[in-house]
């Protein structure tokens, strides 16, 4: 069994396509991002910016810090000896621990904001009011600032101030969990942070739009997204169908699918895989020959696409019998030649030893002894490689360094520490 320090056969350096060599600087080098957000979605957006060269300053409360630092021992996370979620969210950031509730702490935050290009926030509006971190509060301090807000349900409306997590904002309220349920079964349950990470990349896109506008106009501005908006966008096909008055039937189980040719099957060696046969009228005869079931070609139940849909349950049963005749390796090699798109239904243990994941730049090296490999963000650039994933900072690890950059003297820093304003 492969241990967590062992690499797959290929190197864990992605084979990026380069058009004319790599730039000497990362594309976001020189960009200063102040990340005052907590948990996952908004901090992950700041992480993605840091991967491509931004200087990300993580502002945390003394004592506890971002609560996500301690979430890795929660019930929904796999058991591990190391704090792997914090390495993922905290990499390539510097941490300053500041009490933003105190006047001295707000003064520090003011200096940070005046020097920042991007401010990432995700507190509900009442908290932003108390901390003087609304867009209206900071716009005058730095007119070039991109104020990036991530909320649970949006900035306006009756539920704007309800705290949102991906399980409720992204998955539950958006209709995704209900859409994933099988007919007659209870709703599905989400997996950790999936909606958070998708929403993070939407926030990155919003930030880059804001920066592009600033390049043209010199002005910053508010940009944002919400978990709810991202969940509905992810489920937009079904939601648009509802808007159009479509007949939304419950999702049938695998053994009686809507289409037997867009379904899941299992091979002789117990490997589940997905099957999708497009242009089936053209490819149906060759597909039947490939799966060793020529008799299906002329079976009156399956001679047209409409009949194959009408008799999808019977066709699924017939294909089940065919696919258990050979191992997955056999089907992986021969089904594409019949025009069928197939993919193994991987476990995460399969993904971390998948050579394709290495070459696609999905699995990356870190400089953390505890978590020597990690997951890259999904963006790829032909002219740059992302930073090596740096060690996630300890709480307040860079407090003094950052305060010196903000032109605080050593004596002032000592006084701030003594007063408990920073740690």
Assign domain 32-237+369-418 to its CATH architecture: 3-Layer(aba) Sandwich (3.40)
Domain boundaries of the chain, sorted by first residue: 32-237+369-418, 262-350
Q: Is 112 helix (H, G, I), strand (E, B) or coil?
A: helix
pLDDT at 267: 98
Report residue 255 as tokens: 């053994």
pLDDT at 76: 81
The pTM assigned to this predicted structure is: 0.93
pLDDT at 330: 98
Query: Contact 227/170 with Cβ under 8 angstroms?
Result: yes
pLDDT at 5: 40
pLDDT at 17: 57
Q: How far apart are CA 368 and CA 347, in angstroms?
A: 24
pLDDT at 21: 82
pLDDT at 6: 47
Residue 372 makes CB contacts below 8 A (sequence gap 6+) with: 4, 5, 365, 366
Class of domain 262-350: alpha beta
Residues of the chain with pLDDT under 50: 1-14
What spatial distance separates the first Cα and last Cα of the chain, rounded to whole Å?
43
Q: Got the DSSP string for 12-42?
A: SS-----SS---SS-TTTT-EEEE---SSHH
pLDDT in tens, 215-235: 999 999 999 999 999 999 999
pLDDT at 20: 59
pLDDT at 75: 81
Please check whether the two domains, 32-237+369-418 and 262-350, share a CATH topology.
no
Exposure string over 321-354, b if 16+ CB within 10 A, otherwise e = ebbeebebeebeeebeebbbebeeeeeeeeebeb
């Amino acid at each position: 069994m492969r241990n967590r320090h062992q690499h797959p056969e290929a190197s864990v350096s992605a084979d990026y396509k380069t058009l004319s060599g790599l730039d000497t600087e990362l594309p976001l080098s020189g960009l200063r991002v102040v990340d005052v957000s907590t948990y996952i979605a908004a901090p992950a957006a700041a992480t993605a910016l840091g991967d491509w060269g931004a200087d990300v300053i993580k502002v945390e409360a003394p004592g506890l810090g971002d609560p996500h630092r301690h979430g890795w021992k929660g019930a929904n996370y796999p058991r591990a000896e190391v704090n792997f979620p914090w390495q993922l969210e905290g990499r390539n950031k510097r941490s300053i621990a500041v009490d933003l509730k105190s006047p001295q702490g707000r003064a520090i935050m003011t200096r940070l904001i005046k020097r920042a290009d991007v401010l990432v926030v995700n507190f509900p509006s009442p908290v932003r009011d108390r901390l003087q971190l609304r867009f209206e509060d900071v716009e005058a301090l730095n007119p070039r600032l991109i104020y990036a807000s991530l909320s649970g349900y949006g900035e306006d409306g009756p539920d704007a101030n309800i705290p949102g997590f991906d399980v409720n904002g992204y998955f539950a309220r958006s209709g995704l969990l209900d859409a994933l349920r099988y007919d007659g079964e209870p709703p599905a349950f989400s997996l950790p942070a999936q909606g958070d990470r998708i929403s993070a990349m939407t926030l990155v896109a919003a930030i880059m739009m804001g920066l592009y506008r600033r390049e043209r106009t010199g002005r910053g501005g508010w940009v944002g997204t919400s978990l709810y908006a991202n969940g509905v966008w992810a489920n937009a096909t079904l939601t648009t169908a509802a808007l159009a008055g479509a007949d939304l039937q419950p999702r049938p189980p695998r053994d009686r699918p809507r289409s037997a040719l867009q379904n899941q099957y299992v091979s002789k060696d117990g490997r589940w895989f997905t099957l999708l046969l497009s242009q089936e009228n053209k490819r149906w005869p060759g597909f039947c020959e490939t799966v060793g079931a020529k008799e299906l070609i002329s079976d009156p139940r399956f001679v047209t696409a409409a009949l194959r849909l009408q008799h999808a349950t019977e066709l699924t049963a017939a294909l089940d019998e065919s696919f258990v005749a050979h191992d997955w390796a056999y089907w992986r090699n021969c089904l594409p030649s019949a025009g069928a798109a197939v993919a193994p239904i991987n476990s995460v243990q399969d993904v971390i030893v998948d050579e394709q994941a290495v070459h696609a730049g999905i699995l990356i090296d870190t400089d953390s002894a505890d978590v020597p490999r990690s997951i890259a963000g999904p963006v790829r650039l032909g002219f740059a490689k992302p930073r090596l994933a740096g060690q996630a900072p300890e709480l307040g690890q860079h407090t003094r360094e950052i305060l010196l950059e903000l032109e605080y003297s050593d004596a002032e820093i000592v006084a701030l520490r003594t007063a408990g304003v920073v740690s």
